[in-house]
DNA sequence: GATGAATGAGCATTCATTCAT
DNA sequence: CATGAATGAATGCTCATTCAT
């Protein structure tokens, strides 16, 4: 997808096209996978002809790389904010978890694509996406390390703990049902507590970051796509 | 896929064919997904022509349902054994976790297919697989309930804890690398400890079930396919 | 097949494509039957790739239904004209027979497909085609009934006579050879006479409708397809 | 299909196999056409495996040629009998028509295959079948010629009349319904009368040959297949 | 006599993609 | 900006047929 339209504000109907295409892709791919959805169906979902699609994107795989990169960049952006605005390993980790869980609960389609379609990317493009993912995970790694150094966390295998926590929190996008019995904030706070247990930091008080995170998610994920 | 060949020992190339097909499918699907692998490639991987494939299976989707059901039945079988042979919520949960982790670390391909291709199944067949998955999760649910009742576990939202734990342990199949820095037993015991923390049962002693589980996995997962 | 191209004159290769496809189908199917001709061969005969074929049609069966419906609609249209422009059972039947025979002699391929491939249509589509056929036969039925009522025809079993006559006249498409010994007008008039005998109306004078019918056939069957 | 089993009487289950195969072919082909039915379905209908089928027949096309030849030989045989046992063009034609109609009404499946699948036969085999058909039609031709010579028939174009009559009478196999409103004998006698009209021989008395023909059809068409 | 296993070629259909307009 | 037309390659699957047992 061509990088940017330059102007600061959407001007013509066409401006929304890229956005609509990405939205259609996310909707469809999150449900049936990259290989399970054809270009024609994608075009129909976006309200365009399949030929017009190619005006806005490169190949199908380019579109996937674009969608994944944008999603990951938003995750990175959010994690960066948390690090800037929350000090101390405990509060930071608490916020990171609540943010991750909220993002995955509020944006299950985007996150499922980001998390599950890496294998559909070939060599070169995969590398770029993986390094973005690593960039995101680095916030977790750093915070866990920090907590271990300060004595706030007690974990023997911090790498494994990080992976275990990420898998646990990412899983929310696979099972959370907004119409189900659990309130969103319960899930977020609940996972924050589980994380504190996993990290051996139970005595820490768990600040409720749900509203703040919700605002952050809203700010970062709404709008024309975080390009 | 037709049920069984009956005879006790593989005699001709044909005997192993069904098995070879399933193995090929697991290998390929775990890496590129159900929709990412064509019938011809599957056949080649199994050492057959694509026409011969259809001698042994119904449709491609039938094969997927077969592979998933067999995998899940093995998981159920193993969980059943744990429940029979380990008494008390703590020891049981400990064994369930170590078993799940070991299975996912030793059989990452099978478990990734089982866990990730549900969406490729259409209506009727999906139901069958989902009920098997529910059957498996019931062992976890029951054990958590038991531990909460006995006071061994302290969790506020047991449903969420179960899902969080399952996602966490299942994730092992996505990241564990046998050539990597972590020993398999460390991962298994490590997750058992994380689970005990998640469930608020830290004071419980964590019996090392790795060898026993390894035997169980070997017994249940080797052989002609757990039909 | 999409309805029409609107423009009054063929301009580019694409305009005639639908027409060319139907013509190819009629040519091939009339000789080897619907199931005897593959899509690739059809495409080749139409001068397109098999993928392009699907740009213009739905399924192969859709194309058959389209071809049959168009043929039958033309038959109906012609019979309607006869009924409007010829009064009295005798003259009408005479014209209907000559028209039917001429159509089947001049358009043996279209009529053979219309007459012989009903079984290749599945349920729903078959019904539509059958009702068109019934519509056409209704003109014969009505005319025979009229002739019986007026005393012009003497037949005991009018239903059987209608079927017998239709089979007899339709058969022309199966054996008439324009390069053979019989002139087209002889065949048409000859059948008109046989029909008058079958209906017990020998004393009636047989007007030669060959030229008029030929004009009608030319008018109705030429052109972009009678959609 | 290998020509004969030699012995005069069916001995083993296998003896019936060829017969069952032909019967299955006739059943299926008459409904969906030669190209519309696969070998596997044919085998299933005959109660055999598709491989076993090939024990009894050559290729699929060989089987078709066999089925068609046998049918036509039976038609020829019956026409021969008529010629031997009925003297005079009028009575002979009367019997030929009633026999043809009865055969097509009682054996619609066999006759539809005989009549409609010639195009599925390639070059060499088609010639053989066509000459059998010609042999059959020769009885009609000869009888019409005889009637014209003796003054019993008055037709101008005897060739066309023959074809018209054959098409008319053959059509019975396409529309006659034993459960419908017309009795079989009505159809047979009715067509005999239409034929006499077509041939300009109305003054001739129409002997009811239905019972005799029925016997002939029963004799010739029952039994192990008229090989 | 009968069949499971096997296959190359073919089936109807869809794929992602290009391009002239 | 947008699309209808076009296609080579691939899709999942079935074809008629052979052959060792």
Q: Could you read off the pLDDT of C27-68 as tens digits, one per residue?
A: 999 999 999 999 999 999 999 999 999 999 999 999 999 999
pLDDT digits (tens, 9 = 90+) for B113-140: 999 999 999 988 999 999 999 999 999 9
How many helices (H) and strands (E) would you count in chain D?
A: 11, 0
Q: Which nucleotides of E are covered by protein (CB under 7 A)?
A: 1-20
Which chains does chain B touch, 3 or more C-beta pairs < 8 A? A
User: Tokens 């005479």 — which residue?
Assistant: C94
The minimal CB distance from D198 to the residues C171, C186, C198 is found for C198
- Do chains D and A have 3 or more beta-carbon pairs under 8 angstroms? no
The structural domains of chain C, with segments of one domain joined by +, span 13-57, 60-221
Instruction: Render pLDDT for C121-170 as a digit per residue (tens, 0 to 9).
Output: 998 899 999 999 999 999 999 999 999 999 999 999 999 999 999 999 99
Interface contacts A/B by beta carbons within 8 Å: 99
**Cβ–Cβ < 8 Å for C158, C144:** yes
Q: Is D57 helix (H, G, I), strand (E, B) or coil?
A: coil
Contacts C156 to D, Cβ<8 Å: 190, 193
User: Is any atom of strand F within 7 angstroms of residue C14's beta carbon?
Assistant: yes
> Which CATH code fits B14-57?
1.10.10.60
CATH of C13-57, one of 3.40.50.720, 1.10.10.60, 1.10.10.350, 3.40.350.10: 1.10.10.60
CA of B73 to C1' of E2 (A): 37
List of D residues 33-72 with CB within 7 A of strand E:
48-52, 54-55
Burial degree of B69 (CB within 10 A; 0-12, 13-18, 19+):
middle
Maximum alpha-carbon separation in chain C? 59
Protein residue minimizing CA–C1' distance to E2? D52
D35–chain C Cβ distance below 8 A for any pair = yes
Residue range A91-135, pLDDT digits in tens = 999 999 999 999 999 999 999 999 999 999 998 899 999 999 999
Measured distance CA(B158)–CA(C73) in Å, rounded: 69
Q: Which residues in chain D come in under a pLDDT of 50?
A: 2-13, 226-227
3-state secondary structure chain A: CCCCCCCCCCCCCCHHHHHHHHHHHHHHHHHHCHHHCCHHHHHHHHCCCHHHHHHHCCCHHHHHHHHHHHHHHHHHHHHHHHHHHCCCHHHHHHHHHHHHHHHHHHCHHHHHHHHHCHHHCCHHHHHHHHHHHHHHHHHHHHHHHHHHHHCCCCCCCHHHHHHHHHHHHHCHHHHCCCCCCCCHHHHHHHHHHHHHHHCCCCCCCCCCCHHHHHHHHHHHHCCCCCC
Q: What's the pLDDT score for residue A222?
A: 84
Residues 53-82 of A with CB under 7 A from strand F: 54-55
CA D110, D114, D120, D123 torsion: positive or negative? Answer: positive
The full DSSP string for D143-197 is HHHHHHHHTS---S-HHHHHHHHHHHHHTHHHH--TTSSS-HHHHHHHHHHHHHH
Our measurement of the distance from residue C168's CA atom to the centroid of its chain's CA atoms, rounded to an integer in Å, reads: 14
For residue D132, give both structure tokens.
Answer: 């059998």
Confirm if A158 and B190 have CB atoms less than 8 A apart. Answer: no
| Closest nucleotide to A58 by C1' from CA | E17
What share of chain B has pLDDT > 90, as a percent?
Answer: 88
Q: Which residues of C touch D172 (CB under 8 A)?
A: 167
Q: Smallest CA–C1' separation from B57: which nucleotide?
A: F13
Asked whether at least 3 C-beta pairs link A and B within 8 Å, the reply is: yes
C1' of nucleotide F17: residue with nearest CA: D59
Dist CA C57 CA C50 (whole Å)? 11
CATH code that applies to domain D11-57: 1.10.10.60
Q: What is the CA radius of gyration of chain C?
A: 19
**What CA–CA distance (Å, rounded) separates C97 from B152?**
95
CATH number of D61-221: 1.10.357.10
CA atoms of D121 and C17, how far apart (whole Å) = 32
| C50 CB neighbours strand F below 7 A | yes
pLDDT value of residue C223? 67
Select from D157, D167, D200 the Cβ nearest to the Cβ of C167.
D167
Q: Tell me, what's the pLDDT at D203?
A: 82
- The answer to whether B35 contacts chain A (CB < 8 Å) is yes
Instruction: Report d(CA B124, CA A36) in Å as an integer.
Output: 19
Q: Let me know if the fold of A13-57 is the same as that of A60-221.
A: no
Q: Which of residues 109-168 of D touch C (CB under 8 A)?
A: 116, 119-120, 156-157, 159-161, 163-168
Please say whether the beta carbons of C111 and C71 come within 8 A.
yes
Which residue from C163, C72, C79, C80 is spatially nearest to C110, judged by alpha carbons?
A: C72
pLDDT of residue D14: 56
Is there a contact between D186 and C157 if contact means CB atoms under 8 Å apart? Answer: yes
pLDDT (tens place) for every residue of chain A, 227 residues total: 544 444 444 444 456 889 999 999 999 999 999 999 999 999 999 999 999 999 999 999 999 999 999 999 999 999 999 999 999 999 999 999 999 999 999 999 999 999 999 999 998 899 999 999 999 999 999 999 999 999 999 999 999 999 999 999 999 999 999 999 999 999 999 999 999 999 999 888 899 999 999 999 999 998 655 44
Which of C17-35 are b and which e, b meaning 16 or more Cβ less than 10 Å from the residue's Cβ?
bbbbbbbbbbbbbbeebbb
Nearest residue in A to B166, CA atom: A168
Q: Closest to A194 (Cβ–Cβ): which among B34, B190, B198?
A: B198
Share the mean pLDDT of chain D.
92
Percent of chain B with pLDDT over 70: 91
Q: What is the pLDDT of residue C200?
A: 94
If you measure CA to C1', which residue is closest to nucleotide E18? A51
Q: Give the long-range contacts of residues A8-16, CB within 8 A, separation 24 or more.
A: A10/A224, A15/A224, A16/A224
Q: Do A31 and B119 touch (CB under 8 A)?
A: yes
First-residue to last-residue Cα distance in chain B: 10
Q: How far is CA A94 from CA A89, A144, A154, A190, A204, in A?
A: 8, 11, 15, 11, 10
User: Which whole-number Å values give the CA distances from A201 to A150, A152, B158, C56, D23, in the listed order?
Assistant: 11, 6, 20, 66, 81
Residue B3: what pLDDT?
A: 42
Q: The tokens 């054959």 sit on which residue?
A: D166
Instruction: Please report the sign of the dihedral spanned by the C-alpha atoms of residue D140, residue D142, residue D147, residue D149.
Output: positive
Question: Is residue D36 within 8 angstroms of chain C, CB to CB?
Answer: yes
Give which of B177, B99, B198 is closest to A155, Cα–Cα: B198
Neighbour-count burial for D28-51, b at 16+ CB within 10 Å, e otherwise: bbbeebbbbbeeeebbebbebeee
Residue C14 has pLDDT above 90, yes or no: no
Distance from CA of C32 to the nearest CA of D (A): 6
Find and give the residue nearest to E15, measured CA to C1'. A38
For residue B223, pLDDT over 70 is answered with no
**Which tens digit of pLDDT belongs to each residue from C156-202?**
999 999 999 999 999 999 999 999 999 999 999 999 999 999 999 98
Q: Is the CB of D59 under 7 A from strand F?
A: yes
Residue range C81-106, pLDDT digits in tens: 999 999 999 999 999 999 999 999 99
CA dihedral C69, C74, C75, C76 (to 10 degrees): 90
Q: A60-221 has which fold?
A: Tetracycline Repressor; domain 2 (1.10.357)
Per-residue model confidence (pLDDT) at position B152: 96
Per-residue flag: C52 CB under 7 A of strand F = yes
- Residue D48 and residue D20: Cα distance in Å, rounded? 9
All partners of chain D with 3 or more CB pairs under 8 angstroms: C
């Amino acid at each position: 997808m061509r990088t940017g339209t330059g102007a600061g504000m959407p001007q013509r109907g066409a401006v929304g096209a890229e956005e609509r295409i990405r939205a259609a892709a996310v909707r469809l791919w999150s449900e049936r996978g990259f290989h399970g959805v054809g270009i024609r169906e994608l075009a129909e979902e976006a309200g365009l002809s399949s030929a017009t699609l190619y005006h806005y994107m490169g190949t199908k795989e380019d579109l996937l790389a674009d969608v994944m990169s944008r999603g990951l960049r938003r995750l990175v952006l959010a994690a960066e904010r948390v690090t800037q605005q929350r000090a101390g390993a405990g509060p930071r980790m608490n916020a990171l978890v609540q943010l991750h869980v909220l993002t995955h609960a509020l944006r299950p389609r985007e996150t499922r694509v980001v998390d599950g379609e890496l294998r559909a990317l070939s060599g070169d493009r995969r590398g770029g996406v993986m390094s973005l993912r690593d960039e995101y995970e680095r916030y977790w790694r750093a915070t866990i390390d920090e907590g271990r150094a300060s004595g706030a966390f007690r974990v023997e295998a911090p790498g494994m703990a990080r992976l275990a926590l990420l898998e646990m929190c990412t899983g929310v996008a696979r099972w959370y049902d907004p119409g189900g019995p659990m309130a969103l904030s319960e899930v977020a706070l609940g996972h924050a507590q589980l994380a504190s247990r996993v990290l051996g930091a139970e005595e820490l008080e768990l600040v409720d970051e749900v509203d703040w995170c919700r605002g952050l998610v809203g700010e970062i994920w709404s709008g024309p796509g975080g390009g």
